[in-house]
Chains A and B, each alone.
Chain A
Amino acid sequence: MDTTPSKGNKFKLPEDVHFLNRISYGPTPETVALVANMGWDAVLENQLHPESIDTSVIDNALILEQPVLAFSPKDIAESNDPEIVSKAVSGFVGASLIRQLYSPAQLYERMVEFWSDHFNMNILDGRVYVFKASDDKEAIRPNALGKFRDLLHANARSPAMLLYLDNYSNTKFGPNENYARELLELHTLGVDGGYTEADVVAVARAFTGWTIDEETLEFTFRPGLHDSGKKRVLGQKIKTVQNGGIGDGEQVLDLLAIHPSTAHFISTKLARRFVSDNPPEALVADMAEVFLETDGDIKALLHTLFHSDEFWASTELKMKRPVDLMTSVYRRLGLTQDDNTSNYLRYKLDQMGQIPFLWETPDGYPDTAEYWTNTAALVNRWNVAKDAAYFLPRGRYLEMLDGANTVNGIIQAMSIALIDRKLKKNELRKIRKNIYPSKLPNKPIKGNLIPSARTVAIALLSSRYFQMR
């Protein structure tokens, strides 16, 4: 299906804004100014090193507001609080959204989201809620911009994943293939990555005994449950090592982490997230090569991606997912988190079907326009535009109008403020004819300018120029 926007009548979007649309959760006046001053490549280098970015304000505020974020799985499991489940879930989901909205380490948050989708688990599936926050803290965040191999190992040992994909109960007495299959299909090689049903069975056997300790609620390996028989995976013999058998699974992970199919699959997914739904094969091939040369160095992959011609030629090719849309509205309009807007955010994400960590199946929230573009979604998106335009106080409209009082002046001022460009004649005329049918384009209009400016704002925020990034 054709998901690329039509050519022609295309507005020139400043490069800085394109860059910010992709590495962050939406441009703000501050980040636009920052990129203008520093240059995008310097901002990129800075964003690739989140350890040098001070996030203490937001970290401290979150801990104060959501004490549950400091809880270990054991604290959550043993809590007497009857509302512990909803506190653990909404505390964690809320904190993730707040970081996306306000953290200065924006690219880092984007990568945390990327890997959370890649290693998706549904926080409401069974007791995953007990473990998911610590999975985020210990498996995803420390490795989000590190080496893929480390991320893969951390994920394989993560109690949240052991539980979600049932490996905790995978034993030599009764293998459970769920994790093994998704490890090959979704986490590493990809469905066409060249593995067989026999590989799935062998990989499942390799991970027998990888489970969760009932006492500590931490990862443990139980040699007594491990199938120590011979195994071949992807044509390679798994060596028997003298460590009770945990080496079987570790060898499988190492084999997969540097496999060319994995390099291709991860590169494709990254390019799909940051460039376009059907990423150019040349870019994917370049990235896959970097992946193999650098042992899956995620920073190096992103560096290649953002310096590619394909990236700079992909302006507004990505449909915003609901989280992208909501965060970009909040960031663009400078909405803060009070009770109203925070409830509204969650309500809308629920309605549009993308509350973080609630996708049921292990493939993660879809990343192509095809899934997110349909009549129901558009009606929801236009309602967000409407609500946002009504959230904005009069003072903000006056700021955005910046003295403009003619029809064309109002439309262009709103356009610069909301979609970062001046409209071309053709689109300017369409808005003018519908919203100001009886007014002359360049004559000052009398009376209250806000109601019509609000309708213009709804139209602009509803348009493709705000729905795409």
Chain B
Amino acid sequence: MKRRTFLKSTGLAGTLGLLKPGFSWAMGNTANNGNILVTVFLGGGADGLSIVAPVGEGSYHDLRPTLALQTPGSGVNASLDVDGFFAMHPAMSKLHQRFSQGELAVVQATGLTNDSHSHFDSQSLMERGIAFEQNIHDGWLNRHLAALSGEDPVFHAVGLHDSLPRTMAGDYPAISMSSIEDFGLDLGGAQEQTLENTLSALYNKTSLLDIEAAKAIAAMAELRTANPQEHEPANGAVYPDTNFGQRFRQLGQLIRSDLGLASASLALNGWDHHDNEAQALPGLLRELSDTLDAFATDMGTDMNRITVVTMSEFGRRAFENSSAGCDHGYGSFMLAMGGGVLGGQVYGEWPGLAPKDLVFSGDLNITTDYRTVLAELLRKRFEQNDFQQVFPGWVPSQELDLFVS
């Protein structure tokens, strides 16, 4: 039963504001095995062909005379060999090393099987876990959590984000926070308690605003007790001093605080490279690579239960445009790192870049629906079996055998 329906049918909605730290959100039988899912959305349409590039394919160099990555071993700017055919962008040296150590896997020619080419449509569909417009408004990760939800702690699902990511939005109560530091009223003592109680009493209805207010009050109290900021990064991990890097650092602190975190969503935006891609891409890729690497270092052996997966709303056109960038495309890539990942391999059937292999206006095709990757991950690591609930209208296809349970 969905939580909102539950609250309405029992008339319990009015007591929402009375929730105190430690109280659970939902009813039912939990299936929480201690594993943690971290999703990273690369907003803007990340160019998979410049990130894990098919340098072994002749057409690639023809389509991208100025942008193609240089073949491995060809000098200072050479790409980093992955499997003799694909090679990683040189800015990803740290993730390349994780790949070589078998901790990171790549899926190529994957993505959302919808050719809208619109950022907003594509991202919205992807976050809702559907490929075509349906009357579905919540996120796939929210439905995954709702299907399993048990006696979950307040911090079970956290979006470290400016707003709550659509992926996590819906009836299952997820917390959004842009930073730990700012998540409190900072009044101290009795006045803070008085104010929280007053707000609980005033926000006691069932609208979105009331529900978010009740969550915020419970979460503030929980954080006061847990004090996650006392945890310094471990094992010498150094996170980039960027918004994204620092949010991953704080994710590490939340995990270390034993608040019961099981899912987190983050985003790194800015991949819409219509022009001068070669100037813009390295910085972003380094930020992504160094952040994920620092997180894995920080988490140490806990990475055995944490799985990070990345996705982007679409890839970019197979050929470069006249502004040394690439227009909106179709097939893209995903990365998976950490617990259960059979790393060191590139997964997915490669459709090729010859003219006959391209689709729409000259785009890389998709051979693996992004949900195939997510469903395998949810099934093997998070005890999910109800894929009609998580990805409505989608028929699961052959798994890639990219994860072990």
Contact = CB atoms under 8 A, between A and B. Distances in A.
Nearest to B137: A1
B185 A3 contact: no
A434 B212 contact: no
B322 A173 contact: yes
A455 B207 contact: no
B206 to A, nearest CB: 6
Interface string A135-175: 00000000000000000000000000000011001110111
B212 A169 contact: no
Given A176-B321, A363-B120, A374-B212, A6 B207 contact: yes
B228 to A, nearest CB: 15
Interface string B100-136: 0000000000000001111111000000000000000
B118 A181 contact: yes
B182 A197 contact: no
A191 B116 contact: yes
A374 B163 contact: yes
Interface string A366-393: 1001111111111110110010000000
B256 interface: no
Interface stretch (A63-71, A246-254, A333-341, A461-469): A461-469
B321 A181 contact: no
A420 interface: no
A463 B202 contact: yes
B185 A5 contact: no
Given A176-B274, A197-B360, A1 B195 contact: no
A418 interface: no
Given A379-B185, A434-B201, A455 B322 contact: no
B116 A166 contact: no
A360 B269 contact: yes
Most buried by A among B170, B175, B191, B215: B191
B206 A2 contact: yes
A464 B115 CA distance: 41
A201 B321 CA distance: 13
A169 B198 contact: no
A360 B45 CA distance: 13
B174 to A, nearest CB: 8
Contact of B201 (A2, A170, A363, A430): A430
Contact of B195 (A2, A169, A178, A458): A458
A375 B175 contact: yes
B362 to A, nearest CB: 11
Most chain B CB neighbours (cut-off 10 Å) among A4, A173, A377: A377
Contact of B194 (A185, A351, A371, A435): A435
B212 A378 contact: yes
Interface in B179-235: 182-187, 191, 194-195, 197-199, 201-203, 205-210, 212-213, 215-216, 219-220
Given A191-B121, A197-B117, A373 B323 contact: no
A191 B116 CA distance: 9
Contact of B274 (A166, A369, A378, A463): A166
B47 interface: no
A422 to B, nearest CB: 16
A379 B199 contact: no
Main secondary structure of the interface of A (DSSP, over half): helix
A211 to B, nearest CB: 11
A376 B199 contact: no
Contacts of B202: 427, 430-431, 459, 462-464
A228 to B, nearest CB: 17
Given A6-B205, A185-B118, A379-B220, A176 B275 contact: yes
A55 interface: no
Nearest to A177: B327
Contact of B178 (A360, A363, A376, A467): A376
A361 B328 CA distance: 14
Contact of A3 (B177, B182, B208, B274): B208
A201 B362 CA distance: 12
User: Chain A contact residues (Cβ within 8 angstroms of B): what range?
Assistant: 35 or more
A458 B274 CA distance: 47
Given A176-B275, A382-B199, A376 B208 contact: no
Contacts of A3: 207-209
B117 A178 contact: no
Nearest to A5: B207
A370 B197 contact: no
Contacts of A373: 208-209, 212
A386 to B, nearest CB: 6
Contacts of A91: none
Q: Name the residue among A1, A369, A371, A427 with the largest chain B CB count within 10 angstroms.
A: A1
Given A197-B117, A467-B209, A386 B198 contact: no
A351 B177 CA distance: 11
B57 interface: no
A430 B198 contact: yes
B34 interface: no
Contact of A181 (B44, B208, B210, B328): B328
Nearest to A201: B361
A283 B65 CA distance: 52
Contact of A197 (B175, B177, B178, B361): B361
Contacts of A386: 185-187, 195
Nearest to B165: A374
A104 interface: no
B265 interface: no
B348 to A, nearest CB: 25
Contacts of A435: 194, 198
B182 to A, nearest CB: 6
Interface in A375-424: 375-380, 382-383, 386
B216 to A, nearest CB: 4
B325 interface: yes
Interface in A1-46: 1-6
Contacts of A427: 202
Nearest to B17: A430
Q: Which 3 A-B pairs have the closest CB atoms?
A: A174-B322, A6-B205, A169-B323
Given A185-B118, A197-B117, 8 more contacts: A1-B208, A171-B322, A176-B322, A178-B327, A363-B120, A433-B201, A434-B194, A455-B198
15 contacts: A1-B137, A2-B4, A4-B207, A165-B274, A171-B322, A174-B323, A176-B325, A197-B115, A319-B209, A361-B269, A370-B208, A372-B163, A376-B164, A380-B182, A383-B182
